[in-house]
Amino acid sequence: MSQSFWAPGIVGRRFFCSLRQGLASASLVLASSLIAWGQAATPPIKSAAHAAPSRAASARTTVQFAKGFTIEYLPTYKVINILNPAGRQVTPTRYALVPRGQPHPPGFPASRVIEIPIRTLVGLSSSHVALADFLEADDVLVGLGSLQYASAPRVRQRIAQGKIFAVGEGRELNNEQLIAHHPDLVMATGWPSESLSRYETLAAAGIPVLLNSEWVETTPLGRAEWVKVLAALLNKEDLVNQKFGQVAREYQRLAGLGHRVTRRPSVLLNAPFKDTWYLPEADSYQTQYLRDAGSTYHWDKTTAPGSLALTFEAVAPVALTADFWLQPGTASTQAALLAQDARFADFKAFKRRAVYNNNRRTNAQGSNDYWESGAVRPDLVLGDLLQILHPELLPGRQLYYYQLLK
């Protein structure tokens, strides 16, 4: 799940609710003070990646974990294929990535040809902010669906300086503004098989739209690996190989710890939304987090076309006995949870004060960095889960995205 600028997912982005309109304006002084408020940068990747990356045409990356895209390296251009990681047969959406100024290859409509390296990008989800920030390319972002839902300090600084504009999303997408700014690429969120017909106005204006379907991936590393799509668009393969490689190795190390535990506490996720309790199904990347963290999840084997949508009564027997309760909506205190539903007091995790939410890094604008940088730092997310469920495995570590509700 991520903070999409048009509809944040309730679980794994499978169900959506509308977000508030982005901030109409913000002064530089106010924005600077908000940046300083609790917005420490994500822990850096300790590797040679901080050296200037090579932009050589021969630089390549390979896809190891993601099922939703492939990258082909041809003699004079690259091809990105957007697939369906769920295994359903869907005709891939193909994009040709052509060096700027070079002839366009045959067989691709103009709307599927992207000149690289891209210089300007409009991202319609907070996870797209994370991709640019991970690749140290925040300056490429010139537009966001909403200026409110962004956490990266460098991006918030650019917003304060008036260098990033809000474009809305869905039916509220401001095509006129997009055409006036004419970015090199608009990155949208959608199903792998979704038609791009609603973006015909932008296509006719020569603005390519690329559908990012990272939220359909079934593993955290698969989801995070979508950063390689933007790396290919920026010619930053060397950089992404170094940084993502370290994230993957650390995630696998932590998952090894989780797989070896003998005690597996039971976990409850989320909280009811408008009388429905949305929960990740077996093929969700969130369920994989729980497996890798050495926990027991009641719906670990249950599959569904999207998230599970259950009644309170269906979840209650599990909730009453679960050892831990994680990410219960937006609440920051147990009192706030009780204000939503007094029955929560009967839950075992509530009684034993084992309720944790993933909103520790929520800034003054209401942007929760878990849904932003967490998309590309699954190692930090898994580290938090292991620390909560098996604190003896990571002595001395401090929670990064999660916090204990008191």
Of 219, 249, 279, the last residue of a domain is: 249
Do 232 and 273 fall into the same domain?
no
Query: Is residue 88 very low, low, confident or very high in pLDDT (cuts 50, 70, 90)?
Result: low
Q: What is the mean pLDDT of residues 120-145?
A: 97
* Residue 26 pLDDT > 90: no
Do 298 and 330 fall into the same domain?
yes
Between 17-31, 58-72, 184-198, 310-324, the lowest mean confidence (pLDDT) is in: 17-31
Do 223 and 316 fall into the same domain?
no
Query: Is residue 33 very low, low, confident or very high in pLDDT (cuts 50, 70, 90)?
Result: very low
pLDDT at position 34 is 37
Of 208, 228, 249, the last residue of a domain is: 249
pLDDT at position 149 is 87
The structure tokens 């006995």 sit at 321
Do 201 and 321 fall into the same domain?
no
In a domain, 392, yes or no: yes
3-state secondary structure of 278: strand
Q: What is the mean pLDDT of residues 69-90?
A: 85
Residue pair 224/237 in contact (Cβ under 8 Å)? The answer is no
Could you tell me how many residues make up the chain?
Answer: 406
Q: What is the mean pLDDT of residues 361-367?
A: 92
Q: What is the mean pLDDT of residues 163-176?
A: 90
What pLDDT, in 10s, does the model give residues 280-301? 999 999 999 999 999 999 999 9
Between 4-13, 106-115, 234-243, the lowest mean confidence (pLDDT) is in: 4-13
Of 199, 214, 249, the last residue of a domain is: 249
Closest CA to 223 of 148, 307, 295, 286: 286
Provide the number of structural domains found in the chain: 2
Do 375 and 279 fall into the same domain?
yes
As to burial, measured by CB atoms within 10 angstroms (0-12 exposed, 13-18 middle, 19+ buried), residue 108 is: middle
What pLDDT, in 10s, does the model give residues 207-252? 999 999 998 899 999 999 999 999 999 999 999 999 999 999 999 9
Crossing angle between the packed helical segments 126-134 and 153-160, to the nearest 10 degrees? 110
Do 243 and 269 fall into the same domain?
no
Please list, in sequence order, all residues whose beta carbon lies within 8 angstroms of the beta carbon of residue 23, skipping any fewer than 6 positions away: 146, 147, 148, 166, 365
Do 245 and 269 fall into the same domain?
no
Structural tokens at position 180? 């006036």
What percentage of the chain exceeds 90 in pLDDT? 76
CATH code assigned at 328: 3.40.50.1980
* Residue 315 pLDDT > 90: yes
Do 393 and 343 fall into the same domain?
yes
Q: Give me the domain span that covers residue 327.
A: 257-404
What does pTM read for this prediction?
0.88
Between 4-8, 41-45, 110-114, the lowest mean confidence (pLDDT) is in: 4-8
Residue pair 14/281 in contact (Cβ under 8 Å)? The answer is no
Half-sphere exposure of 22 (CA within 13 A, CB side): 28
Is the dihedral angle over the CA atoms 241, 243, 246, 251 positive or is it negative?
negative
Do 187 and 303 fall into the same domain?
no
In a domain, 2, yes or no: no
Do 179 and 267 fall into the same domain?
no
88 vs 342 pLDDT, higher one: 342
In a domain, 85, yes or no: yes
Structural tokens at position 164? 């990033």
